[in-house]
Structure 1
C-alpha cells in the first residue's frame, strides 16, 4: 500500500498524527492527540472550538456566517444581530476498512443540544431536499472510540480524491493527512491555516 494510491496504513496515520500535533499551529489551535488505550485503531486527533454564528432571520435565505471566537471571549458576544454560539468538535480517526482518515464531528448549542443533520445542512448553506446525494456524504454514526453519536463524513471515495491529489507522487505521512484534512474538513467548517503545510 502506498500513499500515492490514495491510502495509508494505520501506522502511517499514527505517525502523521504524532507529527501533526507537534506543529506550532496545531498547538495554537489546541489540537489534541487522544491515545490513552493504545489499542489498534483507537488513536485520533481532536479539536474543540466555540464559534459565533450569524443566523439568518426566520423566513429568509440569507447566508450563514461563521467566525471563530476565543473561548475566553464567549461570554462577551453581542447577541443583538441573531448571533449564536455553537460548540464544534472535530475528531479525525482511521478507517480500517477504507485505509484513509475519517472525520467525525458534532455541532451543539451552549445548552448542550446537538444540531440535527438538517440544521447542519442549513448552517453550511446546503439543501438536502434538492440534493439527495448529501445523505450519502454525512450521517449519524456511533463514534468508534467514544461510543457516542457523531456525524460521520463517509470515507468511501476519499482514496480516489487523494490519489488524484498527488498524481503519482509519494507524499509524506504528514502531507497526506494535512491534504486530506484540508479537503474534507473545509467543507464542514474546519479550515486549516497555510502554516500547517509550511511545517509538513
Structure 2
C-alpha cells in the first residue's frame, strides 16, 4: 500500500453521516465509536432471504470497519441458519446475486479473526478496495460507495435513500 485512501478520522466522519441516513430510514445500522478512532465500526444485525425462496430466513450480522493496513473501509459478516449454525463459505457463495466461480469468490472472501472484534468473521479482502475506491474519492460518502460495490456479491440490501 502506497498511502491511505482515507484516514480513520474521515472513515468515522463518513460513518456518522451514514448513520444519519440509517436512523432516518430506520435501517438498523449501529455505530460503535471507540476512543481509538480506527477501532470504531458500523454493525447491522438483520435477516436475509435465502435465494431458494422455500428455505427460511437466515440471520446475518454485517460489520463495516476501518482497515488500518490498507486505509480503506472493510466489510465483514457472519450468517447463521435457523438452527444457529454458521453457514459455510460455499453456502455464502451460493447466496450471491451474481454467479461467481469458487476460486474467484474464495480469493475475495476469507474467514479470519476480526481485527477489531477479535472473533471469527468472514472478511472481504481489502487488497483491491483501495484501487476500486481511488477512482471514486469524490463520492458523497465513501461507505455508501463501498457498499454499492460489494452488495451484489453478498446479497446485501442498500436502500436508495443512501444515495440521495
Match of 1:105 in 2: 77
Where 1:195 maps in the other structure, the secondary structure is helix
In 1, Cα distance between equivalents of 2:30 and 2:152:
19
Q: Which of 8, 12, 23 is matched with 2:10 structurally?
A: 12
Deviation, 1:54, is 4.6
Using structure 2 for the length normalisation, give the TM-score: 0.86
In 2, Cα distance between equivalents of 1:190 and 1:123:
10
Match of 2:142 in 1: 176
Using structure 1 for the length normalisation, give the TM-score: 0.72
Superposed, 1:30-179 pairs within 5 Å as: 30-35=28-33, 37-55=34-52, 82-124=54-96, 125-128=99-102, 132-166=103-137, 170-172=138-140, 175-179=141-145
Task: Point out where structure 2 has 5 or more consecutive residues left out of the alignment.
Answer: none
Moved over 4 A (4+): 24-27
Task: Point out where structure 1 has 5 or more consecutive residues left out of the alignment.
Answer: 56-64, 66-81
In 1, Cα distance between equivalents of 2:77 and 2:117:
12
The structure where helix makes up a greater share of residues is 2
Deviation, 1:91, is 0.2
Contact in 2 for aligned 1:10/1:41 (Cα 8 Å) = yes
Deviation, 1:164, is 2.7
Deviation, 1:93, is 0.3
In 2, Cα distance between equivalents of 1:177 and 1:127:
26
